[in-house]
Amino acid sequence: MPETRPLRPSLVVALTQALDEVTRRVGEITATEGLGVEQWLVVRRLAEHGDQAMRDLVAGTRLNDSTLTRVVDRLAAVGALYRETDPTDRRRVRVALSARGRAVHERLAAPVEDAEGRLLDGLDAPEVVAALDRLGRPVAGG
């Protein structure tokens, strides 16, 4: 039998497990408003950055085009957001939160933030989030 050596901890495994747990906990909270985590990503992005072109929402949420279209369709169907033609480029569609969407954000933001804080309990949360943010940025030349 070949000799095995202990492997270093895997970043891929750790991040996958962490994402599963964060998604589960945040999903429990967003479900109280009938939203999944993908819908929450869009609501949160629009609440923080204002109306967005679909292309900007793809970049800001990291959802792919087809998933984002499905999410926006669902949020529009429940009155949480609306679409409008971009006045400077009629080929583009902009998405904005409705009053209902802003109210949902107001109700969910603090509980989601609390859950995220509990997940990072005992860690330097701003440092952890900043490190993960750096990992999520494209690397030049790579």
Q: For 67-72, which contacts have Cβ atoms below 8 Å and span 24 or more sequence positions?
A: 67/38, 68/42, 71/38, 71/39, 71/41, 71/42, 72/42
Binned at pLDDT 50, 70 and 90, residue 90 comes out as confident
How much of the chain exceeds pLDDT 90, in percent? 64
pTM given for the model: 0.86
Span between the terminal Cα atoms of the chain, in Å: 38
Q: Residue 1 has what pLDDT?
A: 66
Q: What is the DSSP string of 3-57?
A: ---PPPPPHHHHHHHHHHHHHHHHHHHHGGGT--HHHHHHHHHHHHH-SEEHHHH
pLDDT tens-digit profile of 92-117? 889 999 999 999 999 999 999 999 99
Span 44-50, average pLDDT: 97
Query: What own/partner pairs with CB < 8 Å and gap ≥ 24 does 88-92 have?
Result: 92/53, 92/54, 92/55
Tokens of 106: 């107001």
